[in-house]
Amino acid sequence: MYRIDHTIRLLKAAAVDKKEFRNEETRPSAWTQFHCTQCGEANPLLITPYESGFPILSLYDGTMPKLKQEELLEHKALQHTHQSMLHVGALTVRDLPTLYFGTDCHKCNTPHICIFGYGEQQPGLEILEVSGVWQYAIR
């Protein structure tokens, strides 16, 4: 799990076994796997609320974004945030605070990015939603 410091573009989407976790499924961590876009190897994804990931804003915001907003929308990685939730960012996963991390296939080292949202969607309902895992390339 690492921060991405390069300008990147998204390539192929990887298959992810389970994408939505609710309440106790997120504690202490949500666990699933993605299948490498290159070699098919199953790679574990362990996402711990409030620990895992970096704000996705740091990738798409600013005048020199590391990842273009249009590209995130095209790949359905993020959607436009509902007006009432814009304080969490212009683009999110289901209006939740949205994070990402880089992770490389443990077998062939192909780089991938995991994008997920986590938060309380309504009182008493915490959702962790993995929007997906994509292979990426440095521009």
Asked if residue 90 lies in contact with residue 81, where contact means CB atoms within 8 angstroms, the answer is: yes
H or E element in which residue 33 lies: strand 30-35
String of contacts with Zn ion for each residue 82-121, x by CB under 5 A = -----------------------x-xx-x-----------
String of contacts with Zn ion for each residue 22-41, x by CB under 5 A = --------------x-xx-x
Nearer Cβ to Zn ion, position 108 or 125?
Answer: 108
Nearer Cβ to Zn ion, position 41 or 71?
Answer: 41
Q: Give per-residue burial for 53-69: e unless 16+ CB within 10 Å, then b.
A: beebbbbbbeeeebbbe
Nearer Cβ to Zn ion, position 39 or 138?
Answer: 39
| Least Å from the CB of residue 12 to Zn ion | 12
Category of 86 on φ-ψ map: left (φ > 0), alpha (ψ -120 to 50) or beta: alpha
Nearer Cβ to Zn ion, position 90 or 108?
Answer: 108
DSSP SS3 for 70: helix
Residues that bind Zn ion (CB under 5 A): 36, 38-39, 41, 105, 107-108, 110
